[in-house]
Amino acid sequence: MIDAHLADKFIKNNTISVIGAGGWGTSLSTVLAKNGFSVKIWALERETSDDININHRNSAFLPNIELNENIHATNNLDEFRDETFIITGIPTQFIRSLFINNNFNLKDKHILNIAKGIEKNTLSRCSQIFIDLGVTAENFALITGPSHAEEVAVGMPTTIVSASEDYDYALFVQNLLSNDFFRVYTNYDLIGCELGGALKNVIAISAGIIEGLGLGDNTKAALITRGLTEISRLSIALGANPYTMFGLAGLGDLFVTCNSKHSRNRYVGEMIGKGQKLSQILQNMKMIAEGVETTISANELSKRHNVDMPIVNKVYQILFEDLDPMSAIHQLMTRSSKHEWL
């Protein structure tokens, strides 16, 4: 049950506001509708909002899923200005510009962010972006973990993590979203949860490259294991709890994103492994693969904090410096020998 005090504080007329009608924002709206709430969701594209309102579908971002009639869409961001509690599903690289360009005041608002990424140039995590925009640390929470929208939307059993510096707020999110197919754990480690969710997308691109090259399970197992090591190194250097990396926000999310056909980041890598250019791949994609831009940020963070991340570095070189994928693998395999834990 949702704490009555927090429910009265955050929820007006039994309606939850969601900004961002991509696949994950729409899928999470189905969870909220299942839990008995009405959902007001903002879509950038008019055709998306019309599709949701008229056909009860989001054909562009979550095809073949019939949406609950308690989900209503709008293109008018002004309808959200007076909301106390907002769920945001805006891709990381567009969070700052969306709110600044629309003169949208976030002061005193409680944010639940569902995007996973690291902003270019600033190298900010999503929580840091929202704090820059006026949200206090205790008014920010996130959810993360192995949760492909396509599976959540049809009620497949899923477990995720809710994290906030205000543990009561994390508990509120847990109670808000939990049901018989969507289980939410809480976590104090905001830094680790954010970095685990963001960095796994970079490793997923490399997993896709392996798939596209036609390499085997041995290669992918090595990639996932050593990729988790790199994620852990950087996260710990930035203040994360090491245990987070072995939970849902770390290993769980990494595993599913590297192996699932639903993963946009893995798809990008797979197409590169098959010989396509990054610009061509992105041009043909409707949805955003957060890992592409996060690769830039992760590579820069590794240099700034002197953290060894050879896989991330090679993904960066493949994406942005035209390094041949097989050459990258050869370079990784022939590095000087070392102890596994170093």
Note the pLDDT tens digit of each residue in 198-213: 999 999 999 999 999 9
Q: Which residues are part of the catalytic machinery?
A: 200
Please answer whether residues 268 and 210 qualify as being in contact, where contact means their C-beta atoms are separated by less than 8 angstroms: no
Looking at the predicted structure, is the pLDDT value of residue 319 above 80? yes
pTM, full prediction: 0.94
Beta bridge partners of 164: 141
Please answer whether residues 138 and 166 qualify as being in contact, where contact means their C-beta atoms are separated by less than 8 angstroms: yes
- Rounded to an integer, the average pLDDT of 78-94 is 96
Q: Which pLDDT does position 43 carry in this prediction?
A: 97
- Rounded to an integer, the average pLDDT of 143-169 is 96
Q: Which pLDDT does position 11 carry in this prediction?
A: 82
Looking at the predicted structure, is the pLDDT value of residue 5 above 80? no
pLDDT band per the 50, 70, 90 thresholds, residue 7? low
Looking at the predicted structure, is the pLDDT value of residue 267 above 70? yes
> All domains of the chain, ordered by start, with CATH?
4-188 (3.40.50.720), 197-333 (1.10.1040.10)
Say how far apart CA 81 and CA 254 lie, in whole Å: 35
Q: Which residues contact 140 (CB under 8 A, 6 or more apart)?
A: 110, 111, 113, 127, 130, 131, 164, 165, 190
Determine if residue 41 is left, alpha or beta; phi over 0 gives left, psi from -120 to 50 gives alpha, anything else beta: beta
> Exposed (0-12), middle (13-18) or buried (19+): which is 240, by Cβ within 10 Å?
buried
- Rounded to an integer, the average pLDDT of 320-337 is 96
> Exposed (0-12), middle (13-18) or buried (19+): which is 244, by Cβ within 10 Å?
buried
In the chain, % of residues over pLDDT 70: 98
In the chain, % of residues over pLDDT 90: 92
